[in-house]
């Protein structure tokens, strides 16, 4: 089968079957140790070793203003959680479910594995501080955004 590289369309012709046939479990098992290690290295930079809530059910949790610096929230269910003004710097957020979570005023700078998709499913505001590589979701309020954030998001 021809490789799927160099194509201008996605998926490249002939790649659909390869994508569907991929053993996702095996691929995840191969990459997961590296992701865990990278998350641990980022969390180690935190001045505070945060709690480990890996896979925890924190749906609807009242975590307003919580100090979650360096926390492991890998795969945690944070659906509808109140994370307003929470300090999530250096937190590992890979696979965290943030649907409906309120991140207004939260600080996510330096967090690892926060994705635009996760944040788009949450609520936030102009005071929410984001990791450098993540864009502010369009539906979040941007009035009063910090100058460095405004430059990055085009606000």
- pLDDT tens for each residue of 36-81: 888 888 888 888 888 999 999 999 999 999 999 999 999 999 999 9
- pLDDT tens for each residue of 127-151: 999 998 899 999 997 655 454 544 4
User: What whole-number distance in Å separates Cα of residue 87 and Cα of residue 62?
Assistant: 14
Q: What is the pLDDT of residue 5?
A: 58
Neighbours of 87 (CB within 10 A): 22
What's the pLDDT band for 9 if we cut at 50, 70, 90?
Answer: low
Evaluate whether 126 touches 155 at the Cβ level (below 8 Å). Answer: no
User: What whole-number distance in Å separates Cα of residue 127 and Cα of residue 113?
Assistant: 20
Residues β-bridged to residue 123:
102
């Amino acid at each position: 089968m021809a490789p799927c590289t160099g194509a201008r369309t996605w998926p490249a012709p002939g790649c659909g079957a390869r994508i569907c046939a991929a053993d996702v479990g095996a691929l995840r098992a191969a990459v997961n140790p590296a992701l865990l290690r990278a998350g641990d290295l980022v969390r180690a930079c935190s001045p505070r070793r945060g709690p480990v809530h890996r896979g925890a059910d924190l749906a609807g949790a009242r975590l307003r203003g919580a100090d979650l610096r360096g926390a492991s929230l890998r795969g945690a269910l944070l659906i509808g959680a109140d994370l307003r003004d929470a300090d999530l710097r250096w937190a590992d957020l890979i696979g965290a479910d943030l649907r409906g979570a309120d991140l207004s005023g939260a600080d996510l700078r330096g967090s690892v594995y926060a994705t635009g998709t996760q944040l788009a499913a949450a609520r936030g505001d102009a005071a929410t501080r984001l990791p450098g590589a993540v864009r502010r979701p369009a539906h979040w309020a941007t009035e009063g955004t910090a100058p460095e954030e405004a430059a990055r998001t085009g606000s």
